[in-house]
Amino acid sequence: MSAGLQTSGPGVDAFRTAFRQPSEEPLWLSQFRLSQTEQFSHSGLPTTKDEGWKYTSLRPLARAKYQIVEACEGGSVSPVLKGAAQAVFVNGYFRAEASDISGLEQFLGPFNGFLKEPWLENLVTDTSFKYQTMYSLNAASFTDGFALKLGADQQLPRPLELVFLSVPGDVPGMWHPRAAIDLGANASATIIERHLSVGEGAYLANHAADIRVGENARLVHVKIQDEGSDGRHLSMTRVKVGKKSLYDGFTLTLGGSLSRSETEACVEGVGAEVRLNGAYSITGKQHADHTSRINHLAQGTKSRQVYAGAIDGNGRGVFQGHIVVDQAAQQTDGYQMNRALLLSDTAEVDSKPTLEIYADDVKCSHGATAGDIDEDHLFYLRARGIPAPAARSLVVRGFLADPIENISDDDARAAVLDVLDAHLGLERL
Amino acid sequence: MSATAETIADVEKLGDRYKYGFVTEIESETAPKGLSEDVIRFISAKKEEPDWLLEWRLQAYAKWQKMTEPNWAKLGYPPIDYQDSYYYSAPKQKDAPKSLDEVDPELLETYAKLGIPLKEQEMLAGVRNVAVDAVFDSVSVATTFKAKLAEAGVIFCSISEAVREYPDLVRKYLGSVVPQDDNFFAALNCAVYTDGSFVYVPKGVKCPMELSTYFRINAENTGQFERTLIIADEGSYVSYLEGCTAPMRDENQLHAAVVELVAHKDAEIKYSTVQNWYPGDENGKGGIYNFVTKRALCQGDRSKVMWTQVETGSAITWKYPSCVLQGDDSQGEFYSVAIANNMQQADTGTKMIHMGKRTRSRIISKGISAGRAQNSYRGLVKMLPSADKGRNFTQCDSLLIGDKCGAHTFPYIESQNRSARVEHEATTSKISEDQLFYCRQRGIGEEEAVALVVNGFCREVLQQLPMEFAVEAQKLVGISLEGSVG
What ipTM was reported for this prediction? 0.89
Other CB atoms within a 10 A radius of the CB of residue A72 amount to: 12
B190 is a domain residue? yes
> Range of B237's domain?
5-319
Higher pLDDT, B170 or B8: B170
Interface test with B, best of A319, A356, A361, A376 (most B CBs within 10 A): A356
Chain A residue closest to B382 (CA)?
A350
Q: What is residue B148's predicted lDDT score, i.e. its pLDDT?
A: 74
> From the list A343, A356, A365, which residue is nearest B425 (CB)?
A365
Name which of A61-65, B3-7, B243-247, B377-381 the model is least confident about: B3-7
Distance CA A347, CA A168 (A): 28
Taking the Cβ of residue A117 and every Cβ of chain B, the question of whether any pair is shorter than 8 Å is answered with no
pLDDT of residue B177: 95
Phi, psi torsion values for A367, nearest 5 degrees: -155, 165
> pLDDT tens-digit profile of B111-126?
555 555 454 434 333 3
How high is the pLDDT of residue B324?
97
Give pLDDT, residue B145.
64
- Could you tell me if A48 lies within 8 Å of chain B, comparing CB atoms? no
Mean pLDDT along residues B56-71:
92
Q: Does A50 touch chain B (CB under 8 A)?
A: no
Identify the closest residue of chain B to A55 by CA–CA distance. Answer: B414
Q: What is the mean pLDDT of residues A280-284?
A: 97
Q: Give per-residue pLDDT as tens, A1-30.
A: 444 444 678 888 889 888 887 677 888 999
Q: pTM of this prediction? A: 0.87
Structure-model confidence comparison of residues B161 and B145, the more confident one: B161
Identify all chain A residues contacting B425, using CB atoms and an 8 Å cutoff: 365-367
Mode of pairing for the β-strands spanning A188-197 and A160-166: parallel
Which residue does chain A place closest to B391, by CA atoms? A371
H or E segment and range at residue B214: strand B210-216
Q: B434 to chain A: which residues are within 8 Å by CB?
A: none
Of A357, A360, A371, nearest to B401 by CB-CB distance is A360
Count up the domains in chain B and report the number.
Answer: 1
From A73's Cα to the closest Cα of chain B, the distance in A is 43
C-alpha closest to that of B288 among B346, B227, B213: B346
Which residues lie below 8 Å from residue A107, measured CB to CB, with a gap of 6+? A85, A87, A101, A146, A147, A148, A160
Least Cα separation, residue A242 to chain B (angstroms): 24
Any domain includes B375: no
- Residue B299 class from Cβ within 10 Å (0-12 exposed, 13-18 middle, 19+ buried)? buried
Q: Give the pLDDT of residue B5.
A: 45
For residue A339, give every residue at least 6 positions away whose Cβ sits within 8 Å of its Cβ, in sequence order, or none: A307, A308, A309, A368, A369, A370, A399, A402
Q: How far is CA A327 from CA A128, A299, A359, B310, B372, in A?
A: 16, 9, 4, 27, 12
Task: Indicate the residue of A350, A355, A372 with minimum beta-carbon distance to B419.
Answer: A372
Per-residue pLDDT at B323: 97
DSSP secondary structure letter of residue A17: G
- How many inter-chain contacts (A to B, CB under 8 Å) are there? 118
Distance, C-alpha B238 to centroid of its chain: 17
Please report the pLDDT score of residue B99 as a whole number. 52
Average pLDDT over residues B331-337: 95
Q: Which of the pair, B178 or B121, is modelled with greater confidence?
A: B178
Q: Is B233 contained in some domain?
A: yes
Backbone dihedral angles phi then psi of residue A370, each to the nearest 5 degrees: -145, 140
The mean predicted confidence, pLDDT, of chain A is: 92
**Taking the CB of residue B433, how many other CB atoms lie within 10 A of it?**
9
> Are A355 and B403 within 8 A, CB to CB?
no
- Categorise residue B371: left if φ over 0, alpha if ψ from -120 to 50, beta otherwise: left
Chain B positions touching A360 (Cβ under 8 A) are 400-403, 405, 430-431
Domain boundary assignment for chain A: 72-373
